[in-house]
Amino acid sequence: MANDLNDDIMNTASEDLDDEVRQDKAQTVESAPPQTAMPSEQEQDLENEEEEKEEAEAIEAIKKYTEEDLGRVTLGTIFGGDILQSKFFLSLVLWFIMVAMLMLVYTYNRYQSQQDIITIDNLKTELQEVKYNVLTQSSELMNLSRQSNVEKYLKATNDSMLKNPTTPPYLIRTVEANP
C-alpha cells in the first residue's frame, strides 16, 4: 500500500510537472519573437538550462509530496507504512532509537540482577548447609570429649595406664602474707 501511494505521488508529481513544463513552453513560444537559426552551442545551453529547471521542479514537487503531513491517521496508514513518512514520525526517529536502547539496557540490567539474586540465594543455602555441618561436628566432638566417653575409650584400649582416681583431690592452702 505504501509503495502504491508512493507511485501515485510520483505519477501525480510528474504529471503536474509535465503540465507546468508544457505551459511554460507554450508561453515562451507565444511571447518569443521569431528568430533565425541559433548556433548549436546556444541551443545546447538552452536545452541544458531547461533540463536543469525541469529537474529542480521535479525535486521540489517530490519534496512537496513527501514532506506533507498525513492529515488523518487510520489503521490503513499505520499498517500500510505511510505513517513512517510523516514529518512527525521522522522528527522522532532519534527519540525512538534512544528509547529502544534504554529498553535494551533496562532488560540487560534486569537480567543481570536476577542472575545475581539467584547466585545469592544459592550461596545462602550453601552457607546454611555448612553451618549445620559445623554444628553437627561440634556436637559430636563435645560428646566424644566428655569424661565418661574418654574413660570408656581408655578402658577399651588395653595399653593405656590411666585410670580414675579413687581418692578425692587434695586442696593445698597457702597463707598469704600481708605486707
Q: What is the pLDDT of residues 127-153, one digit of tens each?
A: 999 999 999 999 999 999 998 888 888
CA pair distance 7, 76, nearest whole angstrom: 17
**Can you give the residue range of the structural domain that contains 133?**
92-158
Say whether pLDDT at 33 is over 60.
no
- What pTM, to 2 d.p., does this model score? 0.41
Asked whether residue 77 falls in the same domain as residue 120, the answer is: no
Number of domains in the chain: 2
Task: Answer yes or no: is 166 within a domain.
Answer: no
CA pair distance 112, 116, nearest whole angstrom: 6
Asked whether residue 15 falls in the same domain as residue 49, the answer is: yes
Asked whether residue 86 falls in the same domain as residue 135, the answer is: no
Asked whether residue 98 falls in the same domain as residue 140, the answer is: yes
Task: Answer yes or no: is 154 within a domain.
Answer: yes
Contacts of 20 (CB under 8 A, 6+ apart): 57
Q: What is the pLDDT of residues 72-126, one digit of tens each?
A: 777 887 788 777 777 777 788 899 999 999 999 999 999 999 999 999 999 999 9
Residue 55 pLDDT class (50, 70, 90 cuts): confident
